[in-house]
Chain A
Amino acid sequence: MFHAKIKSEVLKGIVDVVSTLVDEAKFNMNADGFDLKAVDPAHVAMIEMNVEKGAFEEFTADETELGIDLDKIKEVLRLARSGDIIEMKQDEEKNRLVLNVGNITRRMNLVDITGMSDPRVPNLSLPAMVEVTSDELQKGIRAAESVSDHIALTATPEDFEMYSEGDTDSATLRLPKELLLSLECEEQVKSLFPLDYFSNMVRSIPAGSAVSINLGSDYPVKLEFEIADKKGSVRYLLAPRIESD
């Protein structure tokens, strides 16, 4: 059983974060909220998300798994204005999800979850931790986007750097320790990532929020941030590019 009411902008925030990686996802509902884990179809990225019931206006749920097509939720969101309350309800008999926005009722079939995996979040030892505002990250990505299709993230004990190199041009965003919210780094670490994915991830982070970046050398990056007015948390993992030898 699942029945909830949620502000449209909060739902949009949640959907944007998940749909960066997957089109369909399995939401594990329980009495206190929901969590979600998914690996993207190219098997290079992962998401883990927890949202407490406090993010909703109203929330009641038993332990249940809902397979949801995120594109369909986006369609409903297009019908809503900011501030609208969206009511979501599971129709167990017909295996559907029913959404109400104002006077509109949208019923959608739930997605079959038998094929969906339940990934565990791997234990990665990531020696460096950088905390920065999402706006700074956005800037670095905008600078890199026209230059190349990949981006190098480097952390040293003094600074954090986003570097992108194309055939002829390169772009760097260097953030010294003073401009970071915090920096924990014993020795230099550096990894290379696909820019399109990284930038999609960064774009889905709510503006003005703090992001913690965990980094290693030729190792995945972990982005951690909060959504839904600190009532939800997200961890993105992105695998590095394999560098040419």
Chain B
Amino acid sequence: MERIYLDANATTPLAPAALAAMMPYFSEHFGNPSSQHAFGSAPAKALRRARGQVAALLGAAREDEILFTSGGTEANATAIRAALAADPNRREIITSTVEHPAVLACVDALERDEGVIVHRIGVDAEGRLDLDAYRAALSEDVALVTLMWANNESGTIFPIEGLAEWAHEVGALFHTDAVQAAGKLPLDLAAAGVDMASVSAHKIHGPKGVGALYIRHGTRFAPLIWGGKQERGRRAGTENIPGIVGFGAAAEMADPAGAAQLAALRDHLETEITKAVPKVRVLGDRRDRLPNTSLMAFEFVEAEAVLMMLDRAGIAASSGSACSSGMIEPSHVLRAMDVPFTAAHGAIRISLTRETTRAQIDRVIAELPPVVARLREMSPFWTQVVEQGEAVS
């Protein structure tokens, strides 16, 4: 049975070419790029090359605007801490209710432990930012606005350029978590006006454990990790050279224009599934979302059960739910979007990789509807719906 991987927003398979590029840096080119002797020169050169490759993917104006980190989470934490440290007079942060936990848990901790005031801007049913609330929260006390470029669950895209412009009007720094956007959308950070942006290698067919923070030249900055002079003193610690090399290779191979083609496959999937399955909602902003992402909520079934059955059929997808403290709850994103509780528990995220084929999507179209039907047959609520001919309230 061919296993079909449709969870690209969680992680992507490492590109063979990226792996090949990495291999020598585990062995013959083991040197420390900071060394003065010959062993350091190949790693130092590789580091420079990777920096250029990542800068090109993001549309950075200068290579030294790229700071390598251990991943998207560290990049986010660095940006948030740096913005607060840069101007001690500004003690407020604006973010949204649908950010990744890497941002939300970080600002929660700052609010709890350091008295930082956090404004969490809500979204509408399609996951679009409440622009009025955002404008109202902006003031000269705001150190940082951190808003994701594209949402990992719904795929909804925020209008980052405009949001950054508003932030700058009050002198706040603007950071975006671009982990999901990179490689899937054409990014031009030099033109976008953002001050900082986080990206992660393993979401673009690079290795895990490496990411980057883009910091616009001239942006006020303070390091998160102190120590040696690596990364121009902005991130201490000997560089993860194999990982960075793999990241660079993956960045060079990324094809945001090609990723746009995935939208046709994704739309085909949604069209056929909504035809075959009653009471399903397509979530997210259908006019402006990631081309590879589909979030569909099947009413009166629970997502984990759907995923288990899909997994047995060889199809790997994800849910908009997380298990914590004993039961399964809809994710903070679904709750923020105010998805009705009859549907929130049945939200399935299918995120395509650039390797996804039409044949694979057709297999999902064949396998998914019977799974939902089978679970609904077991569900007392579905029986009620069928009996009453309408949704239970």
- Chain A bound to chain B: no
Residues of A whose CB lies within 8 Å of any CB of B are: none
Residues of B whose CB lies within 8 Å of any CB of A are: none
